[in-house]
Amino acid sequence: QKMALETRAIDTIIHRFKSREKNPPNLYFENGMLWADTDSEQDAEIIKQGLESVIINTCRVKVSKIQPTKQQPWSQYSFEVTAPEGI
């Protein structure tokens, strides 16, 4: 079962892609981190902005690109919501 934040984040991101007449990449949450099957920096920026729009403004989104491997021959981006120092 998805948490409300996960559902709202994915719905918001998909809406942002559709408003740009683009197909969204495969998006899913695993262990609290959002993953996207894409190698596009532009897609990653749309996803980051969508995720930032649904979290509280004191948190940040850390974006990492995972390069293809033999076991997983495609690129992915991960998006981790982080809290400021001291929280």
Per-residue pLDDT for 77 more than 90? yes
Model confidence at 87, pLDDT cuts 50, 70, 90, reads: low
**For residues 50 and 38, what is the distance between their CA atoms, to the nearest angstrom?**
16
- What pLDDT score was predicted for residue 20? 97
pTM of the model: 0.89
Angle at 16 between CA 11 and CA 20, to 5 degrees: 145
Q: Helices marked H in 1-87 — which ranges?
A: 4-19, 41-52
Give the pLDDT confidence of 10-59 residue by residue, as tens digits.
Answer: 999 999 999 999 999 999 999 889 999 999 999 999 999 999 999 988 89
